[in-house]
Amino acid sequence: QEFIDCLDDHIWIKTTDGLYAMTNRSVEQAWKKSNDDIVGKNDFDLFSAERAEKFIDADRLVVATGTQNIVEE
């Protein structure tokens, strides 16, 4: 946790079920939510349906290709 909190990039880890397992401070600040408000939630819990679908599509691409994907927020 300490390592990723030092990074300016938005970093999060999700479970295979699409639930947020961990985020860094940069995400908390950008989303204006605490880690406790994010962890255990899915994209539909946190965002509009349109934005949630974009994130889910990006997740599917990452899993399918095994590569990084950047989603503009």
**DSSP per-residue letters across 23-53:** E-HHHHHHHT--HHHHTT--HHHHS-HHHHH
Domain ranges of the chain: 2-65
**Fold observed for domain 2-65:** Beta-Lactamase (3.30.450)
**What is the pLDDT at residue 2?**
86
Over residues 11-60, the pLDDT tens digits come to 999 998 999 999 999 999 999 999 999 999 999 999 999 999 999 999 99
Query: What confidence category does residue 67 fall into, taking pLDDT thresholds of 50, 70 and 90?
Result: confident
